[in-house]
Structure 1
Amino acid sequence: MSINVIQLIQSALTDSVVGQLAGRFGLPPDATQKVLSTIAPALVAGLMQKGATLDGARSLYTTILSSAVNDHIAEQLPNLLGSTSGVSQLEIGGRQLLERVFDRRVDLLSDEVARQTGAPVHATHAMTGIAGAILLGVLKRYFLNGQGNAGQLPTLLGHQLPSIAPHLSDRLLAALGLSGLGAFSGVILSQLKAVSAHIDHPTPAVKPVPEALANVQVPAGAVVREERRSHTWLWWLLAALAAVLAFLFLRGCHREESTSDAAGRSAAGAAVSAQPASAPAPASVVVAPASDVAASTPAASAPAGASAVPQPAAAPAPTKDSQLSVVVSASGKPTVTATVGSEAEKSQLIDELAKRLGEYNFVPNITVDAATKPADWLAHLDGLLPLMSLPGAEVKVDGTHVELSGTAADPKFGWLDKLKSLFGASYQIGSFDVAHAVADATANFRNAVKGLLAQDGSCAAADVVKVLNLQVINFASASARVPASAVADLDQSAQVLNACVRNGKTARLEVAGYSDNVGGEQTNQQLSKQRAEAVRAYLVKTGVPADSLTAQGYGEARPVASNDTASGRFANRRIEFIAQQ
């Protein structure tokens, strides 16, 4: 079983695929190829280290053959890279798989690849996830075609050392938490060989004691039988002791109650005799309000010695809408996130998913919140389940609002009409479209900015930022270049700020960049700052005083919507103007 994994990856990364990636990340094709050629050997080294232990090899084999790995990825790459959602799914899915395999984030590796190749960090982070998805996909295809087993995996990985060693470095291996290249190369083959031998020829398990003893021959007559004796007398003795103890316990309780009652009567009599019959009530005696007296009535009427049992307060009526969001990976595995009001609803949801999709073919993230209203959408779960197997599909149910995005919003699949028929008129069904969202935002901004550009327009910072934040600057994926669609709106923003400067009312603003949660945290923070700086630079170029604007990137922090859907991620990827003192 000898293959070259690097060659399998290269066969999937054809010139046209590399060209698609280069266009996505704004890099020349040769620079893109250099990044991929650096990442792939490092990832194979990481798999070798994982397979160098018995548990690691078994876990790695299970992951490779899991439904989360797409064994058709080589053929599907051109189509997947043809859309932004496809690229995002590849990147996210690949990074999640790698982090599951390596038990650590892969950001350090992406950062080191960026340092070695000179490519932007956001591009190396994305391509690390994509390369990971391809690597595991081609391995899965090979095992499925060759009917390989877990014992062959360490051997296969060991055969890769000659092809990857020339491309490795101490820093790349350190980014994966491995030892230096010399130490790694010196021991990894022997470790893989030992693991493979153990899986193929495991040590015989020790027989359980009963099974071992079953083979022991005992000479006849060696066992002396003992006549069974009756133990009936012992049971009678225990019963008598229990009766005596019960009698003594009850008698003690009776005496304790009698003593307590006598003490109470004695104390009451002493109090009465100490108070003259004609004496007024002491000033310290407080008369209870009528409500307190009424409240005490049940306790007063309770039997002697019994304590009043407080009645539990009625639970507040649920006020929150139940929610369901589904994000389907490129391989067709859904992540199901939901908030429901009871454990029964949670069990019903998980049981239905397991029955229809398979116990290990979905990722559940179900929360129970008692303040949540009943999940009426559970009654329509059967109709939603086929959608949960559509690669790239996204759907969110919030109360009676349903939003489709990703491939679920593609008209050719017809899911919008299907769900309208399924849920009925009581639900509002819609799909998200970036072009329409940008057009709506642009119209709102241009209507509002007219007031600021009028002769009596306000220059108060609060009024200015309220209007400027209506505009949408829809950057291309992984790009920090101001898009042409935003130029006209930014020109109007500059007019507003320059007019305020001429009136002696300079508005001092921070241009803040934010991102969604797709990609690495550090990458998102850097990209959001680059975008904020690009917007600031454009405004300064059009005449806005440089000292009146600052730029900062906040990455995934402070989301204004859920990242579970395309519309939420679209809202979170934003430039926000913030008034400064």
Structure 2
Amino acid sequence: MSINVIQLIQSALTDGVVRQMAARFGLPPDATQKVLATTGPALVAGLMQKGATLDGARSLFATILSPEVNGHIAEQLPQLLGTTTGVSQLEGVGRQLLERAFDRRVDTLSDEVATQTGVPAHATHAMTGIVGATLLGLLKRHFLEGQGNVGQLPTLLGHQLPAIAPYLNDRLMAGLGLSGLGAFTGNILSQLKAVSAHIDHPTPAAKPVAEAMSSIRVPADAVVREERRPRKWVWWLLAAIAAVLAFLFLRGCHSEQRGEQSGERSSAEAAATVQPASAPAGASAAAPAAADVAASTPAASAVAASAASDTQQPAAAPAPTKDSQLSFTVDPAGKPTLTATVGSEAEKIQLIDALTKRFCADRFVANVTVDQDTKQADWLVHLDGLLPLMALPGAEVKVGGAHIELSGSAANAKLGWLDKLKSLFGASYQIGSFNVEQAVANATENFRSAIKGLLAPDSSCVTADVVKVLNLQVINFASAGARVPASALEDLNQSAQVLNACARNGKTAKLEVAGYSDNVGGAQGNLQLSKKRAEAVRAYLVKTGVPADSLVAQGYGDANPVASNDTASGRFANRRIEFVAQQ
């Protein structure tokens, strides 16, 4: 099932599609092509790293075949890119799928692509999502059409290294959260090979006997010589084949039993089976079978020698690069729902055991992911101090590495949790509560600093640059309200000055004002509210002189979140007005 994934991406992103994307983001086609040529290989490298562990390969394969991945995306790209809604949905779904596949946000990568190509970051973020959705869709179609299985994924990914290596560099590797390019290219193939050797290779369903026999071609002269003989030989042949198959089946079972016994004798070998980047434990169990095969075929002998070489020279596992994560919300009845990412199965067990002991198995919900690229969860040492907070109705807490954010009832100063956690965790942790007013003030400062460049007389009025700056402002609507707040009027006035100046210079920026909400409340109500807010912003800008035909308003409800809705800061980020360039 070997394919060149980069060629598949290029065949889907035709010249026509590239021109569509360029017009959509206000970029020259050659700049757009440069972003695509940089992003595609980097994303493939990220998939290779994900598939370099047993759990990672299985998780990645499940993501590829998930319902959210569009296997027909290659044919549908021109239609999807034809509307603002289609582009927004394509970008959002692609970014979500990539973050699920990589277990990390992709903003760092798209920021690096922006730096290396000179294209504004908002455009590289969007195109990263589009390329990601295309890449996963092409892989899904390939596996479905070829009836492929998870056991073939590591090998397929390994075949991509020669195609992507010329496009990679150390900074792109860092954007993926990986070590340098040299370490990646030096280790990834042996890691993928080790996973392929230990992962299950499901056997395709056998063809019906009639179909299988129809593919057999018997020489005509043999039929002539045998046509008058009794056909008892057919039964003898079938019996011999059955005996051979039974022998092979039994030998396979004995080999598995020997592997299990070997695993019981050595816990180190069992651990290596879980982490194939180190010395593969399965090699010792497979050695007898490999020796049997080597005795019968020279090719198998070469395979056995290669496996022995890999066993003797294991690839060093890269150091973990990602911070551990924990977030939880507590419902009014005191039942916590947790999401966590830790670096080992032992840490996961420790967390689940502590929750079970505290709450009983049916009184909490925990979604815990094990990622070997995640650093040690130091907060587990203080878990006993966090457990009472997990029973506080309305509490919201987010732990990322050495940062802890409180919101909801956990941030209530009267309850004193901020001081309790500072005392519990010590000075090595940064602990604070989310403050909406401070978040708005920070955003306002960033926006007013950035818009000075657009208000200058020599401003170029490039739509992509205008959109990037306008999206720095925060319009903090009142809960369930659609009236533009007084705190946002000054920023909107400056936005109008820029848009009016561009229109006077014959460079009118045609924009969509897109409204989004968090996930609190009903989906239909959120959709209507987000549209009313977008219409209110558009109406204010038109009132200040911006050409009415240059602005359209649309609401998208809680679609395309840019942060987790589990915490107040995440919901604040998702309740937003975005300016998007119209085609």
Per the normalisation by structure 1, the TM-score is 0.46
Structure of larger gyration radius: 1
Larger helix fraction of residues: 2
Per the normalisation by structure 2, the TM-score is 0.46
